[in-house]
Structure 1
Amino acid sequence: MTRIAVGAFLHETNTFAPTKATYDDFVHGGGWPAMARGAGVLKTMRNINVGLSGFIEAAEAHGWELVPTISAAATPCAHVTRDAYERIAREMIDGIEAAGPLDAVYLDLHGAMVAEHFDDGEGEILARVRQAIGRDLPLVVSLDLHANVTPEMVEHADALIAYRTYPHVDMADTGRAAAEHLALLLQSGQKFAKAFRQLPFLIPISWQCTNDQPTMGIYQKLAALQDDAVPTLSFAPGFPAADFAHCGPSVFAYGRTQQDADAAADTIAHVIVGHENDFDGRIYTPDEGVLHAMELARTARRPVIIADTQDNPGAGGDSDTTGMLRALVRNNAQRAATGVIYDPESAKAAHAAGVGASVTLALGGKSGITGDAPYRETFVVEQLSDGKFVAPGPYYGGRDMDMGPSACLRIGGVRVVVSSHKAQLADQAMYRYVGIEPTEQAILVNKSSVHFRADFEPIAETLLICAAPGAMPADTATLPWTRLRAGIRIKPNGPAFVPAKSPPSSSATG
């Protein structure tokens, strides 16, 4: 029987964010499944929308024996601590080395992990795996669409295969695609030629959405280029908040010949560069967005939904800024709801006060974001929850969620979801678990950039994007870049990055 070692280690790192990812964050998982080991991996990572789940399903259909190592993921934030990285990586590598005879390795990785001691978290993992298994054994990897792919990742893996949807409703599908590519490698006993192209400008995440142009059309053309000669072709728009040389979009192709791979990669890269002007759109200030939403809501039959994009915990925000809440209250918005504000202290105070009580809080604003502060007001506690529920929408795909002690608080016509754990508000259940019915609201403000669209677009009158203070600027040119590669444009049609000149070295004289 074909034996495949499998594992997962995922983190999307915003090097400008306020909070680092600790080992305990991976143990809990945030919006991801909790850490699992050995046989627990195959139980935990099954029948949900993650890459490893899709791979497990396809592997069982092929009759392969899976040897699970570890699965671990954490909510996006700043760097993965050295302790967390080394403990998880060591367990994964030890599991592979102890697996006995293997025919291949499959890993579910993100592609945009930065650790305290490694800029290229995945490149280092793949180098260690390659050292453990040798040069000949196939090593196939599924990646997030936001991967910042590096030359080292391409070198060590026999195939990197990225998601094609944002919102990521195809994570499990990508795991299945990785299994089918691995089947080709195992059947032929030969490896495919690789082509890798890094693109010349950063793409802000709000304009990477595959529900809209130009990204939708780019992926349609990409899919049409795949055939027997080029069985795998990927475009990763990248995660534009990691300050290191290989941050940015890329294309990677695998072909029967080098000419096949190069031709496919060059074709799709040319299409993407030709759309540089199109990766842009309207961003509202908090007051502009709320006032526009209130005007639209007068005649709307469905909620007007605002993305609080700069405090997206799926992009490194702490999900606790108060700019959009202040704008809702300041403009007297009615039938409005927002979430999730991460504030364990306020959630605890609400539980202590009880349903129906009025409680004065310093809500949110604790992550030290410039221009933000705790919102000191009196709220009514409308409902309490232990934070445990299922998120059945297309992004989370039926995951068991644990937001910790949570509450619905009300101030005027505005309701607020407050939690003790962080996760991106990308599922309608993240309102319902504290008693808010999202379809009955006039305005919803979600701490998310794009993933919420998978579950909320069907109920939305329209979608707006607002930029309140947060860790993930909607305009990538506003980030204080210091270590990008020379020449990459820091936004579409923006200025090229110029590295600071090192001071001339001097020698002491005596």
Structure 2
Amino acid sequence: MRIAIAGFQHETNTFVSGLTDLPDFEQADSWPELLAGDAVVTGTQGMNLPIAGFAQACEEDVELCPILWCAAEPGGRVTDRAFDTIVSRITDALGQFGTVDAVYLDLHGAMVTQSHDDGEGEVLKRVRTAIGPDVPLVASLDMHANVSPTMVEIADLLTVFRTYPHIDMAETGARAYRHLRNMIAHGRPAKAWRQADFLIPLHAQHTGADPALSLYDQIAGFDHQNGQLAELALGFTAADVLDVGPSILAYAAAQSDADRVADEMLARLIAAKPEFDVTLMSADAAVSTAMAMDGDKPVVIADVQDNPGAGASSDTTGLLRALIQHRAGNAILGLIHDPELAQRAHALGRNARFQAYIGGRGPNDAPVKAKVRVHYLSDGRCPYTGAMYGGGIATLGPSAALEIEGTGIHVVITSVRNQCLDLAQFRHFNLHPERARILCVKSTAHFRADFAPIAQAILLAETPGQFPCALENVAYENARKMDTWPYQRSAK
């Protein structure tokens, strides 16, 4: 059996003005650089990636035909140049392979391009044109996918991550293979799709607590019942598109069973709506609360709206100012994207002292002026050790840990935007996060996988940033009309 595989991932924040272009997919960041041919398998082997899980699950009688795999750090709309170039490489290769028995795609589900609000729907449409109507086509999606009717119609089956932090990415790819194998043996399943009429901010979506924990336990309960499969995507709220928001997918041998499962899970999702905890604290309140705690473990404060893993700039200064103003002491903050400051630190060298202007390059913000000492320098190749990306390498570019003199506060500065989600991103800079009083991370929920075990408490701070979590402040223009909820305006 010959299965063609490819991956093309981007989580698009339409509230960011910049564009994501072809070089962004070609370079390494949190994930590897663009991989082609056999490197798709060898370059992701052992990593927590869907395509790696799919390849590992394949049985001996499967011949994989790898095409390419690429991902770019979340950001603004994908350019037509990048989109057309990458998708053409996939469809051209499918034409050259000759007959294949199936196609698997490792997609995200929240890609928006200059010309297509439904990026994945367009990818699937072009791939389907290339392979014809009879070849099975399956894909895996991120838990934050904004699933569209086009995606559901064209793909024979879609699997979705079930954890946030996403520690089950490889398992989601493996699940896609198992159901593809069943499809080839027994035929295409019937499918059903339902959308919820409300949005869930990402900081409330983490699966370590209810209601998301219970909802995904219920989803998993359908997996082995007569070939049924249920999936839940909670949506990516920074994409102002028609199909933003949560949705349910269900597959079964009979249409009546698929409809029943979808209806049942939608009812459970709607019933859970009031249980999602959307609480956010001001930066001042978060720092004051953390300083008042007496435990031996650090308090983690997440700067949820400046998460580069959701397209934000990762350089806002609200939380840093609060640390300094409250004289927090023994605190670490990261990762601030500031290539110019990182370059200056490298030019001056370790232990150098100088006047720095930290971050704050975006609108309605300003750099923090402070005297700093260069604590540590790095080329930015930082091996991950946590459950999310363990086995991979963070590419941070020339980077530095700076100590703000007289405060006990350390700040990690990078040249490449990268979400702070792994303790290694502090330890790599000769810092000791488990000994700190306060740890500040520019992340929304992924940090929980590695930071929660060493934390006495986790606080979520609402400081200005390009990734909106306080949805009552967001004016959606393209989203379908939804019911009003305490933190969700009615959309168009």
TM-score exceeds 0.5: yes
Give CA deviations for 1:180-218 in whole Å, capped at 9, x if unaligned.
001101112x11001000101000001100001100011
Contact 1:337–1:441, Cα closer than 8 Å, also in 2: yes
Q: How does 1:123-138 map to 2 (within 5 A)?
A: 123-138=121-136
Contact 2:471–2:487, Cα closer than 8 Å, also in 1: no
Q: Cα RMSD over matched residues? A: 1.2
1:282 maps to a residue whose letter is T
Q: CA 1:493 to 1:408, structure 2 compared with 1: closer, same or farther past 3 Å?
A: closer
Deviation at 1:62, TM superposition (A): 4.3
Contact 1:467–1:473, Cα closer than 8 Å, also in 2: no
Q: Does 1:392 align with 2:385?
A: yes
Aligned position for 1:114: 112
Identity fraction in percent? 42
Task: Quote the Cα distance in structure 2 between the aligned partners of 1:144 and 1:29.
Answer: 19
Q: How does 1:403-442 map to 2 (within 5 A)?
A: 403-411=396-404, 412-442=407-437
Aligned position for 2:234: 237
Q: 1:402 aligns with which of 377, 395, 399?
A: 395
Deviation at 1:250, TM superposition (A): 0.3
Task: Quote the Cα distance in structure 2 between the aligned partners of 1:223 and 1:39.
Answer: 33
Contact 2:121–2:150, Cα closer than 8 Å, also in 1: yes
Give CA deviations for 1:393-447 in whole Å, capped at 9, x if unaligned.
0011221221010000011211000001111111000101111111111100000
Deviation larger for 20-29 or 125-134: 20-29
Task: Quote the Cα distance in structure 2 between the aligned partners of 1:52 and 1:110.
Answer: 12
Aligned position for 2:305: 310
Give CA deviations for 1:233-286 in whole Å, capped at 9, x if unaligned.
100000011111111110011111000100001001100000111123321101
Gaps of 5+ in 1: 500-510
1:332 maps to a residue whose letter is R
Q: CA 1:464 to 1:181, structure 2 compared with 1: closer, same or farther past 3 Å?
A: same
Q: CA 1:38 to 1:235, structure 2 compared with 1: closer, same or farther past 3 Å?
A: same
Q: Does 1:337 align with 2:337?
A: no
Give CA deviations for 1:90-149 in whole Å, capped at 9, x if unaligned.
111111221121000000000000011110000000000000001110001000000000
Task: Quote the Cα distance in structure 1 between the aligned partners of 2:111 and 2:290.
Answer: 36
Aligned position for 1:265: 262
Aligned position for 1:206: 203
Contact 2:381–2:397, Cα closer than 8 Å, also in 1: yes
Aligned position for 2:288: 291
Deviation larger for 260-269 or 23-32: 23-32
Aligned position for 2:490: 496
SS in 2 for 1:118: coil
1:400 maps to a residue whose letter is I
SS in 2 for 1:173: helix
Deviation at 1:230, TM superposition (A): 4.6
Aligned position for 1:323: 318
Contact 1:241–1:476, Cα closer than 8 Å, also in 2: no
Aligned position for 1:462: 457
Contact 1:230–1:264, Cα closer than 8 Å, also in 2: no
Deviation larger for 45-54 or 76-85: 76-85
Give CA deviations for 1:18-45 in whole Å, capped at 9, x if unaligned.
4321211111132111111111111112
Give CA deviations for 1:306-365 in whole Å, capped at 9, x if unaligned.
110000011111111111111111110111000000111000000011111112222211
Q: How does 1:14-93 map to 2 (within 5 A)?
A: 14-59=13-58, 61-93=59-91
Q: 1:99 aligns with which of 86, 97, 100?
A: 97
SS in 2 for 1:88: helix
Deviation at 1:493, TM superposition (A): 6.7
SS in 1 for 2:209: coil
1:335 maps to a residue whose letter is N
Task: Quote the Cα distance in structure 2 between the aligned partners of 1:161 and 1:267.
Answer: 18
Contact 1:18–1:367, Cα closer than 8 Å, also in 2: no
Task: Quote the Cα distance in structure 2 between the aligned partners of 1:395 and 1:144.
Answer: 13
Contact 2:222–2:229, Cα closer than 8 Å, also in 1: no
2:164 maps to a residue whose letter is Y
Contact 1:111–1:149, Cα closer than 8 Å, also in 2: yes
Contact 2:312–2:465, Cα closer than 8 Å, also in 1: yes
Task: Quote the Cα distance in structure 2 between the aligned partners of 1:401 and 1:342.
Answer: 14
Task: Quote the Cα distance in structure 2 between the aligned partners of 1:479 and 1:95.
Answer: 41
Task: Quote the Cα distance in structure 2 between the aligned partners of 1:81 and 1:367.
Answer: 22
TM value normalised by structure 2: 0.98
SS in 2 for 1:275: helix
Contact 1:381–1:409, Cα closer than 8 Å, also in 2: yes
Deviation larger for 148-157 or 472-481: 472-481
Task: Quote the Cα distance in structure 1 between the aligned partners of 2:206 and 2:384.
Answer: 21
Task: Quote the Cα distance in structure 2 between the aligned partners of 1:22 and 1:149.
Answer: 23
Aligned position for 1:276: 273
SS in 2 for 1:98: helix
Aligned position for 1:3: 2
Task: Quote the Cα distance in structure 1 between the aligned partners of 2:295 and 2:109.
Answer: 40
Contact 1:202–1:490, Cα closer than 8 Å, also in 2: no
SS in 2 for 1:244: coil
Task: Quote the Cα distance in structure 1 between the aligned partners of 2:236 and 2:310.
Answer: 8
Contact 1:7–1:69, Cα closer than 8 Å, also in 2: yes
Q: 1:173 aligns with which of 140, 147, 171?
A: 171
Q: How does 1:238-257 map to 2 (within 5 A)?
A: 238-257=235-254
Gaps of 5+ in 2: none
TM value normalised by structure 1: 0.94
Deviation at 1:492, TM superposition (A): 5.6
Task: Quote the Cα distance in structure 1 between the aligned partners of 2:118 and 2:330.
Answer: 45
Task: Quote the Cα distance in structure 1 between the aligned partners of 2:19 and 2:226.
Answer: 43
Deviation at 1:491, TM superposition (A): 4.8
